[in-house]
Copies of this chain bind each other. A is one copy, B any other.
Amino acid sequence: MLIPILFLVGVLSSQTFSQEFKTAPPPGLRTDGGIWPLPQNVQYLNHSRSIGTRRSRPIQIILDENVNDCDILKFTRKTYLRKWLLPFEDEASANDSTTLILTISVQDGCPKSDEFPQQGMDEKYSLSVPKEGNATLEAKEVWGALRGLETFSQLVFLEDETYYIQSANIHDFPRFSVRGILIDTSRHYLPPQTIRRQIDLMAQNKMNVLHWHIVDIESFPYISTKFPELSGKGAFTPRHVYDPKTVQNIIHYARLRGIRVMVEIDTPGHTGSWKGQPGFLADCSSATGEKVAPNILDPTKKENYKFLAEFFTEILEVFPEKFLHLGGDEVEYWTEACWRQNPEIRRFMKLHGFPDNVTALEDYYFSKLQQLLAPIAQERRQVFWQEVFDNNIPEPNSIIHIWKGGSKTERAESLAKVTAAGHQAILSSCWYLNYIHYGDDWKTGGINGDYYYCDPQDFNGTDAQKALVLGGIATMWAEMVDSTNIEARLWPRASAVAERLWSDPLQQKMPMKHGHDFMNIDAEWLLADFEHNQLMAHLFVIMNGYCLK
């Protein structure tokens, strides 16, 4: 029961729904849709074939010779077959014969054990599931094979105790190279198993960058080997930390799923939890002289640069990812409350020829930061939140992460400016998934109201400028999010972002036709949905974990 005005909408759509879609569709009708995000090229052969019963082992996956021993593919094969695709395999009889063989070949072979997915990773693949005979999956790199295996899994479905597969020929590749989720482990701690689970779900949505906003004002859960006091003094409790082993475990877990782990070390603001490094934080007071908790570093002290150089040396050793996110957002409050009010810092600014100019002091800081990183981060690309571009002078090769933009116009202007200056860009403005709304907010939700429709290349600019847009990152800021609710808040809402960033916008259709909310619709209900459009079919797949267990 709802309040009347909402009620009628709800009931009428439910009414249509229950009338038309109550019984599960015959398998033969499941001939299109079904893959999320929508592939670049897909030809359905209008044919589904049964491949075995619920308690059989209908699928075998063979790895081509040069990847036969590839850790990533062996692991993924096991995950799909045993966990996501055929979870009842244990119930299978030993005598069951395989009905379908999928052969995977990878041109470039297997990455070495110390090779990680990086910018430029090739995710292209070709998948053929013919009407008869066996299936093939071909890719240049192993990362493409992972994406293809996910697609393959989405062609398989269980209906009335029988497994079916849809026949199709698919040539697929992502539109954008950066398709990410930001997790924030400072506002609330996320247990490693929660992070790992989100990585699984990212892989099922063909996303490839986990942006790990690992520390912030509220807590410093990262255990630094060189500076253990950072977490010692900055973590919520000694149990709310990520030790080196856990961090490596998460990075390797992500690698096996073709996902990069981009860490963010946000300075000079947002550093309130860095209390474990003596002298690092600036003394702060308000204009009326009252003490304010420090949330910005002191950029005037030499020791702080020495410390940062050592700390970043460690970070670069720990995280193999070649994008290093350096933050740089939202410093205005503290440059006023801390830098401008602090007599030592005022003296420093005067001495350096920019009295009272906190922006110049910021420039000074970022310039020093980039200097200290130069020798230790040679192969890395620096990523900054947009304020560093707006107010300061990031190095030309750095990537600008756009998060502001209360309107489409504002967002488009930022994209145009950043790319006109020759910077590559990543967009987050329209995908603040931490904000929630009742109803189908995957369509019109978010701050900008065009959640699913937000296009990172929709701005006035040349083709060259548009090519500088690397993609987007959906953010799950954790002021109100912890392990008890992150998953329900993130999925399947982030699936909308995943499709926007992977698929060809000209081919994408409005995925929902009958007004039923996709958010939190459950996999069980999807079984009862006749229409089976892409989004629903996908949800069935990404929710297999719930549905088939």
* A239 (CB) vs chain B CBs: closest residue: B524
A89 touches B (CB below 8 Å): no
For the complex, give the distance between the alpha carbons of A517 and B436 in Å.
14
| A484 touching B488, Cβ below 8 Å | yes
Please classify the interface of chain A as helix (H, G, I), strand (E, B), loop, or mixed, using the class held by over half of its residues.
loop
Distance (Å) between the CB of A160 and the closest chain B CB? 9
| B477 touching A14, Cβ below 8 Å | no
A307 touches B (CB below 8 Å): no
For the complex, give the distance between the alpha carbons of A177 and B14 in Å.
35
Query: A218-B17, A438-B435, A480-B438 in contact; A11/B522 too (CB < 8 A)?
Result: no
A82 touches B (CB below 8 Å): no
Interface residue stretch chosen among A18-26, A314-322, A461-469, A496-504: A18-26
| B528 touching A480, Cβ below 8 Å | no
User: Interface residues of A toward B: which range?
Assistant: 35 or more
A351 touches B (CB below 8 Å): no
Residues of A1-25 contacting chain B, CB below 8 A: 1-4, 7-8, 10-11, 14-19, 22, 24
For the complex, give the distance between the alpha carbons of A85 and B412 in Å.
54
A525 touches B (CB below 8 Å): yes
Select the residue from A17, A18, A292 with max chain B CB neighbours within 10 A. A18
Query: A1-B477, A329-B1 in contact; A24/B237 too (CB < 8 A)?
Result: yes
Which residues in B have their C-beta under 8 angstroms from that of A14? 187, 217-218, 272, 479
Which residues in B have their C-beta under 8 angstroms from that of A434? 438
Residues of A225-247 contacting chain B, CB below 8 A: 236-237, 239-240
For the complex, give the distance between the alpha carbons of A342 and B240 in Å.
65
| B237 touching A520, Cβ below 8 Å | no
For the complex, give the distance between the alpha carbons of A97 and B1 in Å.
54
Which residues in B have their C-beta under 8 angstroms from that of A240? 524
| B487 touching A3, Cβ below 8 Å | no
| A520 touching B19, Cβ below 8 Å | no
| A520 touching B481, Cβ below 8 Å | yes
Which residues in B have their C-beta under 8 angstroms from that of A273? 18
A420 touches B (CB below 8 Å): no
Which residues in B have their C-beta under 8 angstroms from that of A483? 522, 546
A366 touches B (CB below 8 Å): no
Q: Which 7 A-B pairs have the closest CB atoms?
A: A485-B488, A482-B522, A19-B293, A15-B293, A236-B528, A485-B520, A435-B438
- 6 more A-B residue pairs beyond the given contacts A18-B273, A188-B525, with a C-beta to C-beta distance below 8 A: A1-B475, A15-B292, A15-B293, A189-B525, A482-B521, A482-B525
25 A-B contacts (beta carbon < 8 Å): A1-B385, A7-B330, A8-B333, A11-B217, A11-B330, A14-B217, A15-B217, A15-B272, A15-B292, A15-B293, A15-B295, A18-B219, A19-B272, A22-B236, A188-B521, A189-B524, A236-B527, A239-B524, A436-B436, A480-B517, A482-B521, A484-B488, A484-B543, A488-B488, A488-B489
Which A residues have a C-beta under 8 Å from some C-beta of B?
1-4, 7-8, 10-11, 14-19, 22, 24, 187-189, 217-219, 236-237, 239-240, 272-273, 292-293, 295, 329-330, 333, 385, 403-404, 406, 432, 434-439, 447, 475, 477, 479-485, 487-489, 517, 519-522, 524-525, 527-528, 543, 546
